Chains A and B, each alone.
Chain A
Amino acid sequence: AQSVAQPEDQVNVAEGNPLTVKCTYSVSGNPYLFWYVQYPNRGLQFLLKYITGDNLVKGSYGFEAEFNKSQTSFHLKKPSALVSDSALYFCAVRDISGGYQKVTFGTGTKLQVIP
C-alpha cells in the first residue's frame, strides 16, 4: 500500500528566509509525486510534480522540490519565503502499479511566514 508522511504539522519561517516542507513516501513501484497548496476556504491547487528525470523540479510561485530516491523523500523548497506563501501544503503520491490511479495525500503542513 502507498503512503505519504509529512512529519511537521506546522513550519514557521521569517519572510525572506528559505523554507523547506518535508515529505516522505512509500510505494511498491515507481513513485509519481505531487505537491498541492490550499489557501483558506479554497480547494487544493497543484504546485508541482515529479515523474521522471531531474531530481529537482520547479513549479508555480517559485517553489521547487527535490526528489531523493534513496531517502524516499520529496521535500518542498523555496529560496525566499513570502507572507503570501502562508497556507496549508499537501504532499501526494500516485502508485501506478497495476494500472491503478489512486492518489494518497499526506496530513498536510501549515506554513506560516512571519513578516
Chain B
Amino acid sequence: GAGVSQSPSNKVTEKGKDVELRCDPISGHTALYWYRQSLGQGLEFLIYFQGNSAPDKSGLPSDRFSAERTGGSVSTLTIQRTQQEDSAVYLCASSPGQDWPNSPLHFGNGTRLTVT
C-alpha cells in the first residue's frame, strides 16, 4: 500500500522567504510527527499530532515554525522568514493510533530544504 508521501522532495529558497512542506500520512494513521535532520545531527523532534487532541509543539525551534493538520490527515509545516540555519531534511512520520505504543513510525523520504 501507499506509504507516507512528502512534497516537495527538494526545495531551494532565498533567505527571508516563507516555505510550506507537505505530508500525506498513511491512510488511517492518526498519529503524525515532524522531525528535522541536519547534516551530522540526529533527528530533532518538531511537532506531534494525535487525532483531535491538541498538538505537542514543544520541539518547534522558534515562532517562525508552525504546523497544521487538516481533517486529521494531511499536514503542512510552514517556516516563515527562512534563515540559513533552517537548511535541513524535514521528515514526516505517521503511526496507527490503535495498538500504540507497539507501533513503529512510518517515515516519508523527506523534504530537503536549502536556504540560500
Contact surface of A with B, Cβ cutoff 8 Å: 6, 32, 34, 36, 41-46, 49, 51, 90, 92, 94, 96, 100-108
Contacts of B109 in A (CB 8 A): 41-43
Of B35, B50, B102, B104, the most chain A CB neighbours within 10 A belong to B104
Interface residues of B in 92-116 (CB under 8 A from A): 93, 95, 100-102, 104-110
Query: Which bucket holds chain B's interface residue count?
Result: 20 to 34
Closest to B6 in A: A43
Of A51, A94, A103, A106, the most chain B CB neighbours within 10 A belong to A103
Query: B71 within 8 Å of A by Cβ?
Result: no
Query: B56 within 8 Å of A by Cβ?
Result: yes
> Which of A41, A43, A94 is within 8 Å of B101, CB to CB?
A94
Contact surface of B with A, Cβ cutoff 8 Å: 4, 31, 33, 35, 41-43, 45, 48, 50, 56, 91, 93, 95, 100-102, 104-110
If A45-B107, A102-B48 touch, does A51 touch B102 (CB 8 Å cutoff)? yes
Q: What is the total of A-B residue contacts with beta carbons within 8 Å?
A: 59
B102 touches A43 (CB 8 A): no
B104 touches A101 (CB 8 A): no
B48 touches A49 (CB 8 A): no
Q: Please give the distance in Å from A62's CB to the nearest CB on chain B.
A: 18
A46 touches B105 (CB 8 A): yes
Closest to A100 in B: B56
> Which of B50, B101, B107 is within 8 Å of A44, CB to CB?
B107
Contacts of B45 in A (CB 8 A): 102-105
B104 touches A46 (CB 8 A): yes
A32 touches B102 (CB 8 A): yes
Closest to A46 in B: B104
The 9 closest A-B pairs by CB, nearest first: A107-B42, A43-B107, A105-B43, A46-B104, A44-B107, A43-B109, A32-B101, A96-B101, A94-B101
